[in-house]
Amino acid sequence: MNLALIIDLASWVCLLAGSFFCVVGGIGLLRMPDFYTRVHAASLTDTLGAGLILLGLLLQAGFTLVGAKLVMIGLLIFFASPTGSHALTRAALVRGIAPQLADPPEASSSKP
Amino acid sequence: MPGSWRTFSLFLFLLLFWWLLSGMPAPFLLAAGVGSALLVVWFARRLNIDDHEGHPVHLAWHALFFYWPWLLKEIAVSAWQVCRIVLDPKLPISPTLVRFKPSQITDVGLVIHANSITLTPGTISVEVSREEFLVHALTREGAAGVQAGGAMDRRVSALESWPRMFS
Amino acid sequence: MFAAAAIALLVTAALALARAALGPTVFDRLQAANTIGTCAMLLVAVMGFLNGRPEFLDLAIIYGLLNVIGMVAVLKFFRKGKLGEADE
Written as one string, the DSSP assignment of C28-73 is HHHHHHHHHHHHHHHHHHHHHHHTT-TTHHHHHHHHHHHHHHHHHH
Confidence of residue A111 (pLDDT cuts 50, 70, 90): very low
Task: Report the distance separating Cα A15 and Cα A52, nearest Å.
Answer: 6
Cα radius of gyration rounded to whole Å, chain B: 20
pLDDT digits (tens, 9 = 90+) for B139-154: 888 888 787 777 888 8
Give the pLDDT confidence score for residue B49 in this predicted structure. 81
Domain ranges within chain B, ordered by starting residue = 3-47, 59-165
| Residue C58 predicted with pLDDT over 70 | yes
pLDDT digits (tens, 9 = 90+) for B52-105: 777 787 788 778 888 899 999 999 999 999 999 888 888 888 888 888 888 888
- Distance from the Cα of C38 to chain A's closest Cα (Å) equals 7
Mutate to test the interface with A, among C2, C11, C12 (most CBs of A within 10 A): C12
Please state, for a pLDDT cut of 90, what percent of chain C lies above it: 38
Task: Report the distance separating Cα B20 and Cα B31, nearest Å.
Answer: 14
- Distance from the Cα of C80 to chain A's closest Cα (Å) equals 11
- With beta carbons under 8 A apart, name residues in chain A contacting C60: 69, 73
Task: Report the distance separating Cα A41 and Cα C40, nearest Å.
Answer: 18
Task: Report the distance separating Cα A81 and Cα C67, nearest Å.
Answer: 10
**Contact at CB, C15 and A35, closer than 8 angstroms:** no
- With beta carbons under 8 A apart, name residues in chain B contacting A87: none
Give the pLDDT confidence score for residue B2 in this predicted structure. 64
Confidence of residue C53 (pLDDT cuts 50, 70, 90): confident
| Phi, psi torsion values for B90, nearest 5 degrees | -85, -10
What is the rounded average pLDDT of the residues A63-85? 89
| Residue A108 predicted with pLDDT over 70 | no
| Chain A residue with minimum CA distance to C58 | A69
Q: Which chains touch C (3 or more CB pairs under 8 A)?
A: A
Give the pLDDT confidence score for residue B54 in this predicted structure. 77
Phi-psi region of C81 (alpha: psi -120 to 50; beta: other; left: phi over 0): left
**Contact at CB, A77 and C38, closer than 8 angstroms:** yes
Phi-psi region of C74 (alpha: psi -120 to 50; beta: other; left: phi over 0): alpha
Please list the alpha-helical segments (H only) found in chain B: 3-22, 27-47, 60-62, 68-87, 107-119, 140-145, 151-161
SS3 state of residue B128: strand
What is the rounded average pLDDT of the residues C21-47? 90
Q: Which chains touch B (3 or more CB pairs under 8 A)?
A: A
| Chain A residue with minimum CA distance to C76 | A91
What is the rounded average pLDDT of the residues B46-50? 84
Please state, for a pLDDT cut of 70, what percent of chain B lies above it: 95
Give the pLDDT confidence score for residue A66 in this predicted structure. 86
Contacts of B48 (CB under 8 A, 6+ apart): none
pLDDT digits (tens, 9 = 90+) for A15-73: 999 999 999 999 999 888 888 889 988 888 888 899 999 999 999 888 888 888 899 99
**Contact at CB, A81 and C71, closer than 8 angstroms:** no
Written as one string, the DSSP assignment of B81-121 is HHHHHHHSTT-----EEEEE-----SHHHHHHHHHHHHHST
State the Cα angle at C18 between C61 and B121, rounded to 5°. 60
Out of A31, A34, A79, the one facing B86 most closely (by C-beta) is A31
Task: Report the distance separating Cα C37 and Cα A85, nearest Å.
Answer: 13
Q: Tell me which amino acid residue A93 is.
A: L
Burial of B131 (0-12, 13-18, 19+ CB in 10 A): exposed
Task: Report the distance separating Cα A66 and Cα A69, nearest Å.
Answer: 5
Q: Report in angstroms the alpha-carbon separations of C57 from A23, A70, A86, C29, C60.
A: 22, 7, 27, 27, 5
Mutate to test the interface with A, among B16, B71, B93 (most CBs of A within 10 A): B93
**Contact at CB, A65 and B20, closer than 8 angstroms:** yes
- With beta carbons under 8 A apart, name residues in chain A contacting B124: 36, 39-40, 43, 85-86, 89
What is the rounded average pLDDT of the residues B22-33? 86
Confidence of residue B132 (pLDDT cuts 50, 70, 90): confident
**Contact at CB, A90 and B83, closer than 8 angstroms:** no
Of B126, B132, B108, the closest CA to residue B60 belongs to B108
- Count of other CB atoms within 10 angstroms of residue A50: 27
